[in-house]
């Protein structure tokens, strides 16, 4: 509080601003055509806008960080999930390879064949296709003969025996292949389902 303002008690002066009062002397001493410039009004930026801008920047920054962190976390989660799936699949593959190798062992094949009633042949002999000439001296394999039903005609297996029809004289290999391609293959049966995990289906595995 300046002392000067307290001393202004002259009743004759009209109300004047502090600045006019303070510059009275200067104004008297200088030329009349100088007049007082209106005081410069400092245009202050409104505080509200400033706060809003700051808030927006902060918000955007925080939001960005949130998004990045979320994406990273999501990615890490996906990676770990995929990795555990991959480990599981590798383990399944290894188990399957092991099973196939074990099932392919000749001793297993012989046991299965014998269980089906098959016997090994004792004499090597060949049929030359297409002449039908027999090479070598074949002998019937040892073991019980499976008799054919009475109504079978020569050259044909009975239709209900489940065996593929024996080809006759006009057997055409190309036609037979074409017929099969349409979808006559039956699904191979799993020989010993206990060895292969039960929850795997054949079409779930890509066979190389």
Partner 1 sequence: MSAREGGRTFRDYGSTRIHLGNTRRRGTALMLVSSLILMVFALRLVDLQAVQGSELASAALDQRLRTVELPALRGSILDSSGVPLAITVEAKNVTADQTKVTDPVLVAQALSPILGADADILAQRLTGDRRFMYLAKEVTPETWEQISALRLPGVFSEDTSRRIYPAGDLAANVIGFVGAQGSGLGGYEYAFNDELGGTPGETTFERGLGGRAIPTGASVRVDAQAGVDIELTIDRDIQYFAQKEIAQAVENSGASDGTVVVMDPQSGRILALATAPTFNPNFPTQSEQRDLNNRPLTSAFEPGSTSKVMTLAAVINEGAATPYTPITVPGSLRRGDKDFHDSTPHGTLQLTLTGVMAKSSNIGTILAAERIGGKKLSKYLKKFGIGQPTGLGFPGETSGFVPEHQDWSPTSFPTIAFGQGLSVNAVQVASVFSTIANDGLRVEPSLVKKIIHEDGSVEEPDAPMTTRVVSRETAIQVREMLESVVGEGGTATNAGIPGYRVGGKTGTAQIINDSTGRYSNEVIASFVGMVPADNPRLVVGVFISQPQNGRYGGELGAPVFKKVSSYALGALKIPPTGSKAPKLALTFGG
Q: Exactly one of 137, 150, 198, 204 binds partner 1 (CB under 8 A); which one?
A: 137
SS3 126: strand
* Alpha helices by DSSP H, the chain: 3-6, 18-22, 24-29, 47-103, 106-115, 173-181
CB 4 within 8 A of CB 20: no
Which residues, at least 6 apart from 196, have a Cβ–Cβ distance to it below 8 Å?
96, 99, 190
Under rule CB under 8 A, which residues in 86-115 are in contact with partner 1? 90-91, 94-95, 97-98, 101-102, 104-107, 110
Our CB check for partner 1 shows the closer of 20 and 81 to be 81
Region near partner 1 per CB under 8 A, out of 32-40, 135-143, 146-154, 174-182? 135-143
SS3 78: helix
Q: Exactly one of 89, 125, 148, 191 binds partner 1 (CB under 8 A); which one?
A: 125
Under rule CB under 8 A, which residues in 142-201 are in contact with partner 1? none
Q: How many residues bind partner 1 (CB under 8 A)?
A: 25
| Cα 98 from Cα 196, distance rounded (Å) | 10
Structure token digits, residue 24: 């009275």
| Cα 151 from Cα 78, distance rounded (Å) | 66
| Cα 29 from Cα 143, distance rounded (Å) | 147
- Minimum distance from CB of 81 to partner 1 (Å)? 17
Q: Examine residue 42 and tell whether it contacts partner 1 (CB under 8 A).
A: no
Q: Examine residue 126 and tell whether it contacts partner 1 (CB under 8 A).
A: yes
- Minimum distance from CB of 57 to partner 1 (Å)? 27
Q: Examine residue 123 and tell whether it contacts partner 1 (CB under 8 A).
A: yes
Q: Residues interacting with partner 1, by CB under 8 A? A: 90-91, 94-95, 97-98, 101-102, 104-107, 110, 120-126, 128, 135-137, 139
């Amino acid at each position: 509080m300046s002392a000067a303002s307290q001393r202004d008690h002259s009743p004759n002066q009209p109300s004047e601003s502090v600045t006019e009062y303070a510059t009275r002397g200067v104004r008297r001493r200088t030329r009349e055509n100088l007049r007082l410039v209106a005081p410069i009004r400092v245009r202050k930026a409104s505080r509200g806008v400033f706060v809003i801008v700051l808030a927006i920047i902060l918000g955007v920054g925080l939001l960005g960080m949130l998004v990045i962190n979320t994406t990273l976390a999501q990615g890490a989660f996906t990676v770990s999930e995929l990795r555990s799936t991959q480990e599981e699949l590798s383990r399944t593959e290894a188990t399957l390879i092991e099973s196939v190798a074990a099932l392919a062992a000749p001793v297993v094949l012989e046991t299965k064949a014998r269980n089906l009633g098959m016997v090994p042949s004792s004499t090597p002999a060949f049929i030359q296709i297409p002449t039908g000439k027999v090479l070598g001296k074949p002998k019937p394999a040892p073991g019980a003969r499976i008799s054919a039903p009475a109504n079978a005609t020569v050259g044909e297996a009975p239709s209900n025996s489940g065996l593929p029809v024996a080809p006759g004289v006009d057997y055409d290999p190309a036609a037979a292949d074409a017929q099969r391609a349409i979808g006559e293959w039956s699904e191979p049966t799993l020989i010993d389902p206990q060895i292969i995990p039960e929850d795997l289906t054949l079409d779930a595995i890509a066979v190389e």
